Amino acid sequence: MALENKVPPGPLSEKWTKYKSTMNLVAPNNKRRIEVIVVGTGLAGASAAATLGELGYQVKCFCFHDSPRRAHSIAAQGGINAAKNYQNDGDSVYRLFYDTIKGGDYRSREANVHRLAEASTEIIDQCVAQGVPFAREYGGLLANRSFGGVQVSRTFYARGQTGQQLLLGAYQALSRQIAKGTVKMYNRHEMLDLVKVDGKARGIIARNLLTGELERFAAHSVVLGTGGYGNVYYLSTNAMGSNVSAAWRAVRKGALMANPCFTQIHPTCIPVSGEYQSKLTLMSESLRNDGRVWVPKSVADAEAIQRGEKTALDIPEEDRDYYLERRYPAFGNLVPRDVASRAAKVACDEGKGVSKTGLAVYLDFASAIIRYGKSEALTTGISNPTEAKIKELGEEVVAKKYGNLFQMYEKITGENPYKMPMKIYPAVHYTMGGLWVDYNLETNVPGLFALGEANFSDHGANRLGASALMQGLADGYFVIPYTIGSFLANEIRTPAFSTDMPEFEQAENDVANRMEKIMNIQGDQSVESFHRRLGKIMWDHCGMSRNAEGLKEGRQKIRALREEFYRDVFVPGRADEFNPELEKALRVADFLEMGEVMILDALERNESCGGHFREEYKSEEGEAKRNDADYTHVSAWEWDDTNPILHKEALEFENVELKTRSYK
């Protein structure tokens, strides 16, 4: 299969403008007759549905949540990037484009990323107009902060709840269209299959989660904004319900899954505290500005801590290993996410972990507290302050900077991070991979589009902080409303589709059979227990670092687990009623296939880049080693029960030069 990316010709900075002004349009009177299904109400889906509604299309919008406002986007904390250059610090569309390409370790498509950077500025305008209460300076202008790895201040934020405020903005725009009748909203409806007619996406089968009924929906085109697949690992910072099923069902209908092995593992999360753990909580990257990461030098000390016989405070300075400062003197504790995560794993693998489970490292604020305390004493004119006074003053400064995070940490762990170093460990956070899409955000299935975290398009092998929110809203507000016209302009004479067509009947029967099969197993193990075991396999074999041997073993384990699932899972209740266990079972069944494709992709990609670290491919100092000659491409997978098939899209870099990242 030839993957045609449909990137328009012309100089990089003019492609999008020119394309927009010359592309085919759908006239307003025709829009009224054209139906579009949007699945998902996160930043990507809600912004798309609202905007398509405003344009006059007849939109049907779906989410599995009880309200569109609860999509996982609501949980994003830190901020959203935009090349506004309000700080006059040299930012520009080109710089944002370049940072994103480089941050992604040169594995994303230039034209898409440039368009993203162009759209970024309009997003902020739009959100402010909607009433999103971004942080502001005293003078009333918008405030910015800096985020990891870049040299400008371009991140807009609303305290620690940027995702919430942006999503509520999109939700409100969507609500307005629902009230106007241009969007019909289906809450608690889960898409369980894609319907194709003559090879084109023309509808979905959804389960009404309240009644258990299967329902058919037809449209001229289907748009998926259904989020990422991080929960294949069971434990992640994603919301419990986030899942891959909508995208996976599209793959089962012929769409391709691109770069599935590119997952982002965030270094600073609250570690697993026990077997019952259900999800992991992120501790913002900003903490690494002042926190020092360490473990004991000796395994004996670490074991004493694990047994509860010693605490961090019993380990004298000379017996501590500040391993990031030691290994990366130039960047120290502020190395990028992937590097920091791998280093924590190495320390714990050596037996130096500092919690009961041995899977945690310290993030210590003691030196920062003393440092701030001393300078505070100096500036407030306290001479000869006692040590206690210095600490008190220092803690006040730290509380001002990170108070809400320290409080969140204490709520979860019951420990006071001012007195005892935080314990942190890396956790799965984001998935760069996703459905393969061309420049129009259209998958290889005509009429099927994918937006937001559900597609693979903009972040390459590693996403920069505050860029996912930007991408979701760019896709939904400013890209799809235009690019969907490339498909729909040829559909203005196509009458509405009837859900009585055999294609719909067939798809509904398939879903019913799939559910019946799972309900009828009546085995002995819960869905949750299978999901946990899948997560463990993925984490052990396809997590922070990977090798061919382990990946092959992981693949066998997943296949065995899948077989066991279909033999021994137990789902209580019935299919024709409200049944959260059945919902989970269907999602886990899809994760059991997705996991295998991730492993295959990781195995096939014989290089280390971004979040994908293959132990065989590293420099003498143990750093990631890319192989540009053989792997400057997108890997797009076609599902097949025995052997999924790999397709490639070559990545061409005409505007940036490929370089090695170094943090020494």
Partner 1 sequence: MKLHLKIWRQKTSTATGSYETHTVEADEHMSFLEMLDVLNEQLISEKKDPVAFEHDCREGICGACSMVIDGRPHGPQNGTTTCQLHMRAYKENDTITIEPFRVGAFPVVKDLVVERSSFDRIIQAGGYVSVNTGQAQDANATPIEGGIAAEAFDAATCIGCGACAAACPNGSAMLFTSAKVNHLAKLPQGQVEHKKRVQSMVAQMDKEGFGFCSNVKACEVECPKEISTENIAALNRAYISSMFTTSD
In the complex, minimum distance from the CB of residue 403 to ligand FAD, in angstroms, rounded to a whole number: 18
Binding mask 159-188 for ligand FAD (x = CB under 6 A): ---xx-------------------------
Q: Is 176 a catalytic residue?
A: no
Tokens 């999602």, residue? 587
Tokens 């920069």, residue? 464
Site for partner 1 in 204-263 (CB under 8 A): 210, 239-241
Q: Quote the CA–CA distance of 635 and 651 in Å, as a whole number.
A: 10
Strand partners, 208: 189
Span near ligand FAD by CB under 6 A; candidates 33-41, 92-100, 551-559, 622-630: 33-41
Residue type, 604: E
User: Measured between alpha carbons, how far is residue 321 from residues 306, 318, 482, 489, 657 in Å?
Assistant: 17, 8, 54, 62, 37
Site for ligand FAD contains 190 (CB under 6 A): yes
Q: Quote the CA–CA distance of 508 and 514 in Å, as a whole number.
A: 10
- Which one, of 423, 453, 422, 459, lies nearest residue 435 by Cα? 453
CB closer to ligand FAD, 364 vs 475: 475
Residue type, 251: V
40 binds, among partner 1, ligand FAD, none (CB under 5 to 8 A by kind): ligand FAD
- Number of Cβ within 10 Å of residue 640's Cβ equals 8
Q: What is the DSSP letter of 498?
A: P
Q: Quote the CA–CA distance of 196 and 33 in Å, as a whole number.
A: 20
Site for partner 1 contains 75 (CB under 8 A): yes
In the complex, minimum distance from the CB of residue 239 to partner 1, in angstroms, rounded to a whole number: 4
Binding mask 549-588 for partner 1 (x = CB under 8 A): ---------------------x-xx---xx-xx-------
162 binds, among ligand FAD, partner 1, none (CB under 5 to 8 A by kind): ligand FAD
Tokens 């800096």, residue? 146
Site for partner 1 contains 172 (CB under 8 A): yes
Q: Quote the CA–CA distance of 545 and 647 in Å, as a whole number.
A: 24
Site for partner 1 in 517-556 (CB under 8 A): 524, 526, 528-529
In the complex, minimum distance from the CB of residue 614 to partner 1, in angstroms, rounded to a whole number: 33
Span near ligand FAD by CB under 6 A; candidates 24-32, 42-50, 113-121, 618-626: 42-50
Site for partner 1 contains 25 (CB under 8 A): no
Strand partners, 58: 35
CB closer to ligand FAD, 162 vs 608: 162
Site for ligand FAD in 251-290 (CB under 6 A): 282
By CB under 8 A, how many residues form the interface with partner 1?
Answer: 79
Site for partner 1 contains 179 (CB under 8 A): yes
In the complex, minimum distance from the CB of residue 298 to ligand FAD, in angstroms, rounded to a whole number: 35
Site for ligand FAD in 413-432 (CB under 6 A): 429-430
Length of the chain: 664
Site for partner 1 contains 316 (CB under 8 A): no
CB closer to ligand FAD, 271 vs 296: 271
Neighbouring residues of 156: CB distance < 8 A, sequence distance ≥ 6:
79, 80, 81, 82, 84, 124, 134, 135, 142, 143, 144, 162
In the complex, minimum distance from the CB of residue 240 to partner 1, in angstroms, rounded to a whole number: 5
The two three-digit tokens of residue 29, written as one number: 């009177």
Contact in structure between 61 and 45 (CB atoms under 8 Å): yes
User: Residue 33 burial (CB < 10 Å; 0-12/13-18/19+)?
Assistant: middle
Tokens 């005892």, residue? 420
Helix, coil or strand: residue 611: coil
Contact in structure between 382 and 327 (CB atoms under 8 Å): no
Strand partners, 205: 193, 216
Residue among 30, 187, 357, 494 that touches partner 1 (CB under 8 A): 187
Neighbouring residues of 598: CB distance < 8 A, sequence distance ≥ 6:
232, 260, 261, 263, 433, 538, 542
CB closer to ligand FAD, 195 vs 600: 195
Site for ligand FAD contains 72 (CB under 6 A): yes
Q: Give DSSP secondary structure letters for 197-264.
A: ETTEEEEEEEEETTT--EEEEE-SEEEE-----GGGGSSSSS-TT--SHHHHHHHHTT--EE-TT-EE
159 binds, among ligand FAD, partner 1, none (CB under 5 to 8 A by kind): partner 1
Residue type, 304: A
Residue among 13, 87, 277, 655 that touches partner 1 (CB under 8 A): 277
Site for partner 1 in 356-415 (CB under 8 A): 408, 411-414
Site for partner 1 contains 633 (CB under 8 A): no
Site for partner 1 contains 81 (CB under 8 A): no
In the complex, minimum distance from the CB of residue 661 to ligand FAD, in angstroms, rounded to a whole number: 21
Site for ligand FAD contains 457 (CB under 6 A): no
CB closer to partner 1, 55 vs 334: 55
- Catalytic pick from 115, 337, 614, 661? 337
Contact in structure between 195 and 502 (CB atoms under 8 Å): no
617 binds, among ligand FAD, partner 1, none (CB under 5 to 8 A by kind): none
Site for partner 1 contains 136 (CB under 8 A): yes
79 binds, among ligand FAD, partner 1, none (CB under 5 to 8 A by kind): ligand FAD
Residue among 73, 108, 333, 632 that touches ligand FAD (CB under 6 A): 73
- Number of Cβ within 10 Å of residue 621's Cβ equals 9
End-to-end CA distance of the chain: 42
Site for partner 1 contains 420 (CB under 8 A): no
Binding mask 571-590 for ligand FAD (x = CB under 6 A): --------------------
The two three-digit tokens of residue 595, written as one number: 């996991």
Site for partner 1 contains 287 (CB under 8 A): no
The runs of H, that is alpha helices, within 293-444 are 299-306, 323-327, 337-349, 366-379, 387-413
Site for ligand FAD in 313-352 (CB under 6 A): none
Binding mask 51-70 for ligand FAD (x = CB under 6 A): -----------xxxx-----
Contact in structure between 53 and 59 (CB atoms under 8 Å): yes
The two three-digit tokens of residue 443, written as one number: 């998958």
By CB under 6 A, how many residues form the interface with ligand FAD?
Answer: 45
Site for ligand FAD contains 467 (CB under 6 A): yes
Residues marked active site are found at 337
Provide the binding-site residues for ligand FAD, judged by CB under 6 A.
Answer: 39-45, 62-65, 71-73, 75-80, 162-163, 190-191, 225-228, 237-238, 242-243, 245-246, 282, 429-430, 452-454, 466-469, 472
